[in-house]
Homo-oligomer: A and B are copies of this chain.
Amino acid sequence: MSLVVVGSVAFDSIQTPDGALENALGGSAVHLSMAASYFGGVQLVGVVGEDFPVEHKQLLTDRGICIDGLEVVEGGKTFRWSGKYFDDMDRRETLSVDLNVFENFRPDLPGSYRNAQYLFLGNGAPVTQASVLDQMGSRPFTVVDTMDLWIDIARPDLESLVSNVDALVLNDEESQQLSGEKNVVLAGRKILAMGPRYVITKRGQHGAMIFHADGEVTLPAIPLENVVYPTGAGDSFAGGMMGCLLRSDRTDLQGIKVAVAWGTVTASFCCQGFGVEGLKKISPTDLQERFGQYRNMLELDPVEIPQIT
């Protein structure tokens, strides 16, 4: 059983009220793989330049992540992003984006990746995402991420891709933009009608929602007193979710719900540490313990429910 994760590998430079970080390892494929690596075998697909240091590769392989699909472009430079968080940590501003080798990345999957049972297509041009799906030998359970840019400039390609996958993960604003609906419930249902089996709406500190023909689920985030660094929280969420699916191999609504819960737990660790540090430092026991607390928190003791007459 394996999971292929396609996405960006980047150097992030970030200013927050608590401190700054220069050229830290980041990118969606990194956060996703790191988060999912606690659950099973992850195969990373991405691209870097010659400037990508061996320590970063080591960090990934130390977590058991296969990087056979990490292309290194000779003479190229790795994708760089820099941004700044405001006081409330809810809003951020992009200061600069240098796509570099990521701009013309056309993923070519190693043969050993092509029979994976789970596929996560990180944010990217929908045609590129579709080209990865086409390379898969057997049809994996496929989850797609996107962003405002692609909804803006590549809507037909995105809609075509979405109609052909198992799940779409997006945030509140993207769900409004894609559906044209302000109400999060109506938005989710409208996107579901575009064809995926599941729509998963990420709501940051307010949790996540799942839309499916069999029902709708809303789960809260874990309340945090110390959001140190939310970059990658959405990717860690998706990584924990994909990891759980890889492990449980259960993709009915109940299985997706448990996976979203694991995503929620995983993302909370990402928010509490700088960069991938938050994910690197945790142990499986930390994850398991917090999941147990989360599950208990949401458990409503049936004995205590007053029987209304």
Contact = CB atoms under 8 A, between A and B. Distances in A.
B257 A300 contact: yes
Interface string A214-228: 011111111111010
B284 A309 contact: yes
Nearest to A295: B300
A287 B117 CA distance: 42
Contacts of A299: 298-299
Nearest to A201: B223
Interface string A199-210: 000010111010
Residue of A39, A284, A300 with highest tally of chain B CB at under 10 A = A300
B300 A185 contact: no
A308 interface: yes
Interface in A289-306: 291, 294-295, 297-302, 304-306
A176 to B, nearest CB: 11
A186 interface: yes
Contact of A306 (B185, B217, B244): B244
B306 A247 contact: yes
Given A225-B186, A298-B298, A304 B250 contact: yes
B220 A218 contact: yes
Contact of A38 (B220, B262, B297, B308): B308
Given A291-B305, A304-B254, A223 B219 contact: no
3 tightest A-B CB contacts, nearest first: A247-B306, A284-B308, A298-B298
Contacts of A186: 225
